[in-house]
Amino acid sequence: MYPVSYKPERACYKSCHHAMRIASRSSIFYQRQHFYAASSFAGKRPKFFVKRRVIFPSLPCNPVSAPSEINMNGYNRKSPQKRRYEMTKYAVTPKKKICKERIPQPKNTVAMLNELRHGLIYKLESQTGPVHAPLFTISVEVDGQKYLGQGRSKKVARIEAAATALRSFIQFKDGAVLSPLKPSGNLDFTSDEHLENDVSKSAIAVDGQKKVPDKGPVMLLYELFNDVNFDCINIDGAQNNCRFKMTVTINEKKFDGTGPSKKLAKNAAAKAALASLCNISYSPMVVPQKNVPLPIDDKSSSMELPQIHADTIGRLVLEKFMEVIKGQEAYSRRKVLAGIVMTENMNFCEAKVISVSTGTKCVSGEHMSVNGAVLNDSHAEIVSRRCLLKFLYAQLDLQCNQATAYQSIFVRNTDGQYPYKLKSGVHFHLYINTAPCGDARIFSPHENDTGVDKHPNRKARGQLRTKIESGEGTIPVKSSDGIQTWDGVLQGQRLLTMSCSDKIARWNIVGIQGSLLSSIIEPVYLHSIVLGSLLHPEHMYRAVCGRIEKSIQGLPPPYHLNKPRLALVTSAEPRNQAKAPNFGINWTIGDTELEVVNSLTGRTIGGQVSRITKQAFFVKYGFLMVNLPGILVRKVTTDYGQTKANVKDYQTAKLELFSAFKREDLGSWLKKPIEQDEFGLAE
């Protein structure tokens, strides 16, 4: 029997470990005490320590005379399992690995060619030369043309064949930049044109419709261009609503992208570069949904506005908003931002921002006005359209003076029933940072919910919807109380206003010029609608024109169903969870300062009448009827409501719109109390 405690001077690790296992299995009491076993075979300093005092019933070997020049495994080096028992005071702190910057490896010509042409087959044509120094010839067929390459190995010959093929349709600019050119019929290898043959084909589906590229924008950009540099230039927003801005530089050209994270901002910048340099679009409009009857008219076979134009429209409106809000940053808080941009002959380099507005609320019923002195609907897109009306009145004012008539966007109409019409090539583009409320926004953005609604008892899609006073969101008109009356609203009934989706659908029938101007000018329609977020092609198309295209009929010319181009900007607006403010701003080109309106009262924050109310426009209309050349009836003798009713073609088109909604069983258009329009011109 061995003593209770001992300190072996020379004990092998195997013996100690075996003894500890026996003690543990026998459940014998043991206390913590230092002892160690030294390696005796090399005379090294002891390194193994165990903090235990063990009562050993027996040991398989004599600890005093434990002979060992080598350990039990026959090795003079400890295994990793044994090292974990060593005390940290003798352990060596591992050195921190220094990560070397990874240098991107250039792709060989075979990889480049396979990315541009899939399914290529390389064939061994011949093998010549002596056995110790063979010369291989390999061919590859690209677009019906065979290209050869030679080399001392099959790999080198394959690389040379791919290089020969690439040189036939790839320009190597400064030895680095790849710029795929036009079809092989174009022999001008020095051209700077980009991607109209090769990579663009990957963005075209079999049926001729464009499709979103399979690869991400950043990856695709790196594959097409070698000289690509991303920079994060600034960070905007609060900590909980941060916005990053990335800039990508390609061939000394810069493209910006913003997003709630650096990754999304980088993707947006890459999308902008691809859209500008290669005409590659990642817009959801590129892939039409299966059940969407895309329109085919005389001008275009697609509803998609080119991505570069959409980005320009969004950027111009955002920049103008930041410009006009300077000095009144307290009113920069907003949830919905809208604006209208005007172009001539689709020249976006000289595009003009006509209006900018914010707002998400409607007037409270107790603040209705009997003389047209309040804004009933302060939603941003509706306010922007009213600002456009103000601009149209100003342009007609220029026609009142021969010295300024040439500056107007209107010209005399000598061959029509309307005295004036827009100049040829003038287009208006509406920007909204999110989908308009109502039918265009009733969908889940993360679900593929295409197809007919499977609910058997209702039509969830296409229904006319109304906004609720002093709040956000919409409800179907079938859930409303029907006809609205003045005294009913004053007694406490909620004042209801048609949703923005429904109003935009109305503009696509009767125009955006309004009923008063319809007696002077031909209908004016939106050329495009650009969204900052929540663009779903199927729902947006249905909301703005698709739900009535089969039932609309009998429109008096030149009224027609307008189908605006649709697009989503590459730098999408983030979802704003903040509470919407009760104010909105509006600015029209020519204004020296912006106007801030209390959305709940329909008046400015100072209590004055807004410059875009019914009352203000009726006064401008009265001035034009007296001073504008070419007007037959000069005097306005009726009130506002009756004057609008006298514009027969406009009223016919509007009634046909309401009938089309009824024929589709989508509900009845809800009107405001008629007392609101029973006011006349001031004497």
Catalytic positions are 381
Q: Judging by DSSP bridges, how do beta strands 565-568 and 528-531 pair with one another?
A: parallel
Q: Judging by DSSP bridges, how do beta strands 565-568 and 420-422 pair with one another?
A: unpaired
What is the signed CA dihedral for 158, 160, 163, 168, rounded to 10 degrees? Answer: -100
Tokens of 669: 């258009």
Kindly report the backbone phi and psi dihedral angles of residue 80, in degrees, each rounded to the nearest multiple of 5, phi listed first.
-60, -30
Query: What contacts 199, CB < 8 A, 6 or more positions away?
Result: 116, 180, 220, 224, 278, 280
Rounded CA separation 92/89 (Å)? 8
Question: Can you give the three-state secondary structure of 57-106, one letter per residue?
Answer: CCCCCCCCCCCCCCCCCCCCCCCHHHHCCCCCCCCCCCCCCCCCCCCCCC
Q: State the sign of the Cα–Cα–Cα–Cα dihedral 672, 674, 675, 677.
A: positive
- Give helix 614-627 / helix 380-398 axis angle, nearest 10°: 20
Question: Strand order in 122-128's β-sheet?
Answer: 122-128, 135-142, 145-151
Name the β-bridge partners of 127: 136
Tokens of 662: 């009824």
Rounded CA separation 490/267 (Å)? 52
Measured in Å, how far apart are the chain's first and last C-alpha atoms? Answer: 127
Rounded CA separation 539/284 (Å)? 12
How does 368-384 read in b/e, with b if 16+ C-beta sit within 10 Å?
bbebbbbbbbbbbbbbb
Amino acid (one-letter) located at 217 = P
Q: Judging by DSSP bridges, how do beta strands 410-412 and 352-358 pair with one another?
A: unpaired
Q: What are the CA-CA distances from residue 362 to residues 371, 488, 495, 662 (Å)?
A: 18, 17, 9, 26
Closest CA to 530 of 426, 433, 443: 433
Amino acid (one-letter) located at 609 = V
Rounded CA separation 171/179 (Å)? 5
Rounded CA separation 139/122 (Å)? 6
User: What is 227-294 written as a DSSP string?
Assistant: -EEEEEEEEES-GGG-EEEEEEEETTEEEEEEESSHHHHHHHHHHHHHHHHT-----TTSS--TT---
Tokens of 185: 């019929």
Q: Judging by DSSP bridges, how do beta strands 420-422 and 583-588 pair with one another?
A: unpaired
